[in-house]
Structure formats: C-alpha cells, structure tokens
Amino acid sequence: MNKQEKAVVTVVGKDTVGILAKVATQVANANGNIIEVTQSVMDEFFTMIMLVDVTALTCPIYELEQALKQTLPGMEIHVMHENIFNSMHSI
Amino acid sequence: MYSFSEIMETISMIRDNNLDIRTTTMGISLLDCADTDIDRACVKIYDKVCRKAGRLVEVGNSIERKYGIPIVNKRVSVTPIALLAGVSGGDPVKYALAMDRAAHAVGIDFIGGYSALVHKGFSAGDLEVIETIPQALAETELVCSSVNVGTTRAGINMDAVRLMGRQVKAAAERTADRQCIGAAKLVVFCNAVEDNPFMAGAFHGVGEADTVLSVGVSGPGVVRSVLAGMPADAPLDEVAETIKRTAFKITRVGQLVGSEAAELLGTRFGIVDLSLAPTPAVGDSVAHILEEIGLEQCGAHGTTAALALLNDAVKKGGVMASSSVGGLSGAFIPVSEDAGMISAARAGSLSIEKLEAMTAVCSVGLDMIVIPGDTTPEVIAAIIADEAAIGMVNSKTTAVRVIPAIGLREGEELNFGGLLGYGPVMKLRTQSPARMIQRGGRIPAPLQSLKN
C-alpha cells in the first residue's frame, strides 16, 4: 500500500491574517505534506484550495477537518479525499 | 488540479443535498450450505454469512470515514431459501431464524433471500417457503422475503399470485401490533433480477459468483437541486441532459465506493444499481424532482411523462459511469419512503391508478403503498396480477409491496420508522376480482417472449 493518497482542503470565508499559516500548521501537525495551493481574495472573501499528500497522515481525514474547523472558527472548511473529485470530474 | 467550482459542486452534493450510498449489499451463495439435515444446513448458513460478511460493516464504516460519504445501509442477500428447503425438507422458518441470527451477529441492516422463484411452477421447497413467509417475517427482525411470480418468457403463475394475495395480508395481520411491518418486508416480483442490491427484494441469484459486492446509490436531492438551478423555461431536452450529467457523477461515486469496498473485502465487485432511491428525509425525494420539472404536485397529469424522462436520463448518465451496471436501475417510487409522494398521497393528488401507470415507465412497481386493512386477499392478488402483467408485457421488472393497514381505514396512517417511512392508507377499488383470481392457472407468456 505505497500508493500516494491525496486529500483536497478547501477554505472559504472572510479574509483575515494568518489563515494559510494556520491551515498549514494543522496539516503539518497531522503529518500531511502540502503539494499544491491556490488561493485568491476577492472583496475580502478568501478562497483556498490545498492539495495535501495524506499517505502518512497520523489521523483520519475527518479529524484533520475537525482540527481545522476548531482553529479557524467561522470559516467554511472541508477536507475530502481526492478520489471523490477524480471519479466525479474526470473520465 | 480541480477548479473551485468542481470542488464546491461535489462538496455541496454530499453535505447539502444528501448524496449518499444507499446500500452496499454483499451477495452470498448458500448453494454449498445445502444439506439434507435442516439443522446442519442452518449452522452452515450462519457460519458462511458470518465468515463472508463479518467485515462488511467495518469496511463500510471505514470507507464512509475516508470519503465523508454516508453509506446508509449494509446488507446481505443470499440464495433463494426455497432451493435449500427443497433439499432439506422440514420447517423452512428455521432458515429464516438462522439468517436473522447471522444478520444480527455481523451487524447489518437487512438480509434478503427468504425467497422462491415460481414464475412457471412450484418445485420442492417453493410452496413450503411461501406458506411460511408471514410466520418467518413475524418471528425475525431483519429478514426480507420475495417471490417471483412471473417473467416475460414464462408468463404469470396465477396460482402463485392468488397465494401471494393471501400471504401479503397474512404477513400484515401477523405483525398488526408492529405497524404491519411484515408486509413491508415482502415483495412480489415479475421479472425479478438476480443482482438487485435493494431490499426487500434482494436475493443472490444462482447465476452469480460465490460472493459479490454490489452498490445502490441514492441522490434524488442532488438531481432536484441541480434542476432548481436551471432556468424555469429550459426545454425538456436540456432538463434531460442535465439529469444525465448529474446521474453520471452520482454513479461515479457508487462505482468508487463499490470497487473499493469489494477490494477491501477480497470479493468480486458486482454491479452499481443506477437507481434514484429516495428517503423520507426532506430534500431526498423523487416526487420533488418531478415537481421541479414543472408539476404542481406529483400525481398530476404529466407525472408519467416526467418520470419517463427522469428514468431514462438516469440510466443514460449512469451507464457510462460504471464498469458494471445491473440490478433494478431506474427511479424508485416507494410512496412511504418519499416525502413528496407522502404529501401527494395525503393531498389526494396521487392515486394508486396513477402509481400503476408510473410503474410502466420506471423501475420496480407499486412500492410501499399502505392500503386499507379490510382489503381482501383477492384484491391484493389482483393488484399483483396487474403489476406483473405490466412487467411481463414490457420486459421489465415490476413488483408489488403493499401494506394492508390492519384495523385502519382510508386516511389513517402507518409509521414504520427509519428508511421505510410513513404513509396514509390509499384508496383502492372495491369491485371484486375474486372470480378471475380463483380461476388460478397461468397467463401464457406474451408474443414478445419468442425472441429466439
């Protein structure tokens, strides 16, 4: 089972200082490796998509989501396995 | 990487619109459990179900956690018990009890296969199983039962239809103190399929592998919300196209979960059943899709056409999304399991005649319909015969799952709880079909059976 497993982290909400840093810290705490980040701020509205290698994650994906939500209350945060998006949006 | 809109679409499908996997169903062949000693056969059944399906719930839960997609039910279907009863003789209820014990032991939601296939006639074990269905359903909690009374190739066995009219009523009477739940776990089929993952009609056909894992997806809420986002005057071909695209995405998730579960369980992946299965939860209703297409309420004139469009678009989208499609595959219209159907039935806009017409263009049939408790067995048999005729002539699966509400009259309601839902007693015609039903015999296979 050496297959690389990836998860997609999405964060949406009002822009404040340090969102990316807090997300990155939590991901690192769970031993996730950030592969790619896209982020934009429009009219103080922050959106971010982060692709994380979760092969060696020390906790289940949903716990990472819980941890992120606790760190960034008020933001809409989802962490989902990449396979879901793969199967839905590519043939 | 994926675009933001793609990602948000997927997330909202799952988190906001009830996209879920309705069931992962493991089919288990019991042919190697057959024994001339019924008690020994029961031990073998218990052992085999526990051995094969022991990790079904655990694997389901782990996939649920990994992907964040709820897997609502974990189920097992087995070889029709009539085949084993034919070998062993004895009281077939013992088999039902063994199935129920095994189902409890592995922690699944339902086990299907207390079944007999009698479309052309009765062989050893068939009559014994059919005679004991009401008792088996009353004495067990998780066992589901089905009987196939007709096929396009063989015609309709009207002796079996007559018998099933009686047994449906008896199943309700035996469980009258429990919302007549017995009848909700009993399906009478025409053209039953061997790889259906949905209850109560699931059984593991003899043409199947030793064990297979099949998946039934759900997702009426997703389809409805996508349609709600379309312009209200979009032509119907665009509506169909949109449903098709959505069905593709829903089915892909089923394929993903099914193949991964099969791999983890070390079993063969069976099929994805391309069905839109509603639940009584608000926002998970097939009726509401029909209303979104443009009907004031489900049951209005136009319902059959809208359902035909929906059913076809779901199949077209789904078939491309999965390596292996099967089961019932279409839109389900179980009245008590669908919030929109329930309100349409309560409002009187949905009648049993309209439902019957709808079954000609979608999967399955008259499903989860509560009927008056004083309905005679002959009327129930006649409902079964009508529905079987639709299936036989149109070369499709049809089924009847009606629940006589013992002691209740039109307008009163039964509540089964959970996925089975609740519903009002619906009005039936009271003119007697008794003389036709009592004739028995067989309705010969139609001309379309001669395809060779």
B105 vs B452, more confident = B105
Number of H helices, E strands in chain B: 16, 14
Q: What is the pLDDT of residue A2?
A: 58
* Helix or strand run (H / E) with residue B352: helix B352-359
State the nearest Cα–Cα gap between B193 and chain A, in angstroms: 28
Q: Which residues contact B5 (CB under 8 A, 6 or more apart)?
A: none
What pLDDT, on a 0 to 100 scale, did the predictor assign at position B436?
A: 97
Of B7, B65, B66, Cβ closest to residue A10: B7
Q: Which of A52-66, B13-27, B428-442 has the weakest average pLDDT?
A: B13-27
Among B27, B207, B39, B183, smallest CA distance to B117 is for: B207
Determine the residue of chain A that is closest to B264 in CA distance: A1
Q: Is the pLDDT of residue B137 over 60?
A: yes
User: Taking residues B377-395, what's their average pLDDT?
Assistant: 96
pLDDT at B176: 95
Nearest to B190 by CA among B142, B242, B248, B148: B148
CA distance B400 to chain A (A): 34
Q: Does A38 touch chain B (CB under 8 A)?
A: yes
A41 shares contact with chain B (CB less than 8 Å) = no
Write down the pLDDT at residue B218: 82
pLDDT per residue as tens digits for the range B409-439 = 888 999 998 889 999 999 999 899 999 999 9
| Residue B67 in contact with partner chain A when CB distance is under 8 A | yes
pLDDT category at B19 given cuts 50, 70, 90 is: confident
Query: What average pLDDT does the structure give for chain B?
Result: 93
Q: Which residue of B has its CA nearest to A47?
A: B4
Contacts of A62 in chain B (CB under 8 A): 65, 68
CB pairs under 8 A between A and B: 58
Tell me the per-residue pLDDT of B236-281, one tens digit each, with 9 for 90 and over.
999 999 999 999 998 998 999 999 999 999 999 999 988 888 888 8
Q: Which residues from chain B sit within 8 angstroms of residue A60, using beta carbons? A: 65-66
**Where in chain B do CATH 3.20.70.20 domains reside?**
22-190, 218-449
Which helix (H) or strand (E) covers residue B42, if one does?
A: helix B38-53
Write down the ipTM of this complex. Answer: 0.84
Closest CA to B344 of B287, B271, B305, B413: B287
The pLDDT tens digits for B58-81 are 999 999 888 888 898 999 999 999
Contact A89 B2 (CB under 8 A): yes
pLDDT tens digits, B114-134 = 999 999 999 999 999 999 999
What is the Cα–Cα distance from B253 to B89, expressed in whole angstroms?
Answer: 44
User: What pLDDT, in 10s, does the model give residues B187-199?
Assistant: 999 999 999 988 8
Which residues of chain A are within 8 Å of residue B19 when distances are taken between CB atoms?
Answer: none
Which CATH number fits the domain A6-89, given the four candidates 3.30.420.40, 3.30.70.260, 3.40.50.920, 3.20.20.60?
3.30.70.260
pLDDT at A1: 47
Which of the listed CATH numbers 3.40.50.300, 3.20.70.20, 3.30.830.10, 2.30.30.100 matches domain B22-190?
A: 3.20.70.20
Residue-level length of chain A = 91
pLDDT at B282: 78
Cβ pair B1:A10 closer than 8 A:
no
Domain ranges within chain A, ordered by starting residue: 6-89
Above 70 in pLDDT, residue A48? yes
Give the residue-averaged pLDDT of B278-305. Answer: 93
Q: Report chain B residues whose CB lies below 8 A from the CB of A49.
A: 1-2, 4, 7
Q: Which of A21-30, A80-89, B315-324 has the highest mean pLDDT?
A: A21-30
Instruction: Please tell me the least confidently modeled range out of A49-53, B108-112, B168-172, B197-201.
Output: B197-201
Q: CA torsion B181→B184→B186→B189, rounded to 10°?
A: 170
Q: Are B75 and B26 in contact (CB under 8 A)?
A: yes
The string of pLDDT tens digits covering residues B207-229 is 999 999 999 888 898 999 999 99
φ, ψ of residue B274 to 5 degrees: the values are -80, 65
Interchain pair A78, B6: CB under 8 A: no
- Is B253's CB within 8 Å of A47's CB? no
Q: Specify the CATH architecture of the domain B218-449.
A: Alpha-Beta Barrel (3.20)
What pLDDT does B331 receive? 84
Cβ-Cβ contacts under 8 Å, A36 against chain B: 1
